Amino acid sequence: MLETSATPGSLMLVLHDIAPETWPDYQPFVEAVDEMGHVPMTWLVVPNFHHRNPLAGSPAFCRLLERRLARGDELALHGLYHADDGPAPRSLRDYFMRRLYTHEGEFYALNQGQAMQRLEAGLEVFDRQGWPVAGFVAPAWLMSQGTRQALSQLPLRYTSTPQHLYRLPDFTAFDAPGLVWSARSAWRRGVSQVVCDWQCRRWRNAETLRLGLHPVDMRHRSSRDYWLRTLDKLLMQGRAPLTKSAWLQRQAVG
């Protein structure tokens, strides 16, 4: 059961798949959010998006992220490549998860050693930039058992799935329901709006809500405007915007 609150609660605005090539998609949206006032965001940064966007090759974009940090936003690690480049799936379940559900489940099939290597490589990129990092979110939220084992050995404070935030290293779970769209086609966008509207009603008393945005959402007026309207409505209801780290710090230590 989700915890409910008599107070307006909080919200977390989370931008997925942050990379130099996705910034043009996000820029108008971020500017519109900035005009609403101080709304801290969590940016899920991919160090080398699809093997073609190394952050080291985009100093101007890195400076942009540093300015966002200075505004009070948070940067979290979101995979290393955000691409599933492992061996071909061997089972029907794995084929569905890695080829039909998504082609970007980078950490779905990794063993502990492989996951550790990629996590440490991603954290090294953050370290070279001098960026603080508390969280890791697996692409498509797909984590193998090996990934979970690796995360429990690293100096990170949280990870997440669509409905929960987990405090590391022990994976203490906190209810944090999330809204997300599938915006790749018109029918998906139509279904997404219906589902998200229903979820907003269902979770109206939830202590917190996460808005999980993706670059493809920004390429369609219906989905982009939906997120702006929903954010504005939740703020008007009195929900406090928080980064993931800030929200987790407010939770009692179990």
Closest by CA to 114, choosing from 84, 77, 159, is 84
Domain range for 153: 10-249
According to the model, what pLDDT value does residue 1 have? 39
Sign of CA dihedral 149, 176, 45, 70: negative
Domain at 40, CATH number: 3.20.20.370
Per-residue pLDDT reduced to its tens digit, 24-48:
999 999 999 999 999 999 999 999 9
According to the model, what pLDDT value does residue 96 have? 44
Per-residue pLDDT reduced to its tens digit, 83-100:
767 656 566 665 445 554
How far apart CA 114 and CA 144 sit, in angstroms, is 11
Closest by CA to 12, choosing from 225, 215, 174, is 174
Evaluate whether residue 254 is within a structural domain. Answer: no
Evaluate whether residue 229 is within a structural domain. Answer: yes
Evaluate whether residue 96 is within a structural domain. Answer: yes
The full length of the chain comes to: 254
- Going residue by residue through the chain, which has 254 residues, state the pLDDT in tens, using 9 for 90 and above: 344 445 679 999 999 999 999 999 999 999 999 999 999 999 999 999 999 999 999 999 999 999 999 999 999 999 999 876 765 656 666 544 555 455 666 898 899 999 999 999 999 999 999 999 999 999 999 999 999 999 999 999 999 999 999 999 999 999 999 999 988 899 999 999 999 999 999 999 999 999 999 999 999 999 999 999 999 999 999 999 999 999 999 996 54
How far apart CA 121 and CA 206 sit, in angstroms, is 36
Domain count, the chain: 1
Evaluate whether residue 128 is within a structural domain. Answer: yes
Evaluate whether residue 101 is within a structural domain. Answer: yes
**How wide is the angle at C-alpha 225 spanned by C-alphas 222 and 228, nearest 5°?**
150
Evaluate whether residue 3 is within a structural domain. Answer: no
How far apart CA 20 and CA 45 sit, in angstroms, is 10
Name the residue with tokens 């101007």: 60
Evaluate whether residue 1 is within a structural domain. Answer: no
Evaluate whether residue 5 is within a structural domain. Answer: no
